[in-house]
Amino acid sequence: MAGEKIVLAHYLPLLSKSALFADIDPTELELMMNCMQPRICEYRKNDLITVAGDRFDSIGILLRGEAMVTKDDAAGNRTIMSFLRPVDMFGEMVAFARDSVWPSTVIAQEPCAAFFLAREKIVGHCGNVCSWHQTLIRNMLRIVSERAMQLHRKLDYLGMKSMRGKLSAFLLEQHHRTGRLDFELTMNRNEMADFLNVSRPSMSRELSRMRDEGIIGFHLSSIRILDLETLKGMVE
């Protein structure tokens, strides 16, 4: 137990930046942790942090490293749902579901540490009548609503018929996210192809065509939008 407390104390400044603990005084976090009794787990690269179909019992927050959220279909084809970085949450979409199993697999892309909080500590009755409990519930509802909107964006990509339309929409989203015409992609080519549900070779060929037409420029993970209006016109 002493080791767990030392590790948790090390991560308290980071946890204070999590959306789950928004509007809660950072000085109260240590007292909150004593009440909530979370657990900290460490993982090596390529370890499975969660496995789709396993019993769900806790909401997770990534504390260190980077992880990938994936979903496999019946044929074994993998789709990348999202990437996790420190203070990102996972498992929140199933927190209140009747079917208490992990909906997706979370894979450590590098050595990781994760914080797990039993859902009963969020939605259950707090015997100590802690003043922050209602704030925690409100934060949780906000997070679930925002995640639902993100899934709608993912469905938008899946519903697009052409490769060029998907790529254009994806690059425009990165432009709006960064506010820049030049930006670094957070995914490699394989991950990007899985996310857009397209083949890697076909995607690379289409990117090369867009470069040859003067619409974009790229080098490794760096992208520059050269013709913004044409890019917008290709979104289907």
Under the banding of pLDDT at 50, 70 and 90, the label for residue 128 is: low
Q: What is the overall mean pLDDT for the chain? A: 85
Q: Can you spell out the DSSP letters for 37-78?
A: --EEEEE-TT-EEE-TTSBP-EEEEEEES-EEEEEE-TT--E
Helices 200-212 and 163-178: angle between axes, nearest 10 degrees: 70
CA angle 230-206-84, nearest 5°? 90
CA 188 to chain centre: 16
92-105, pLDDT tens digit by residue? 888 777 778 888 99
Q: Is the pLDDT of residue 4 over 60?
A: no
Q: How far is CA 152 from CA 89, 95, 103, 158, in A?
A: 18, 19, 16, 10
Q: Could you give all domains of the chain from N- to C-terminal order, each with its CATH number?
A: 2-131 (2.60.120.10), 160-233 (1.10.10.10)
pLDDT at position 27 is 77
Give the chain's largest Cα–Cα span: 65
Q: Can you spell out the DSSP letters for 118-156?
A: ETHHHHS--TT--TTHHHHHHHHHHHHHHHHHHHHHHHH
Q: Quick check: pTM over 0.85?
A: no
| Percent of the residues in the chain that have a pLDDT greater than 70, as a whole number | 93
Identify the DSSP state of 181.
S
Q: Is the pLDDT of residue 124 over 70?
A: no
Mean pLDDT of 117-146: 75
Mean pLDDT of 2-12: 65
Query: Between these two residues, 236 and 230, which has the higher pLDDT value?
Result: 230
Query: Between these two residues, 31 and 178, which has the higher pLDDT value?
Result: 178
* Sign (positive or negative) of CA dihedral 8, 14, 20, 23: positive
Q: Is the pLDDT of residue 158 over 50?
A: yes
**116: CB partners within 8 A, 6+ apart:** 38, 39, 40, 41, 58, 59, 60, 61
pLDDT at position 1 is 38
Burial class (CB in 10 A: 0-12, 13-18, 19+), 187: middle
pLDDT at position 2 is 40
160-204, pLDDT tens digit by residue? 889 999 999 999 999 998 999 999 998 888 888 877 888 899 999
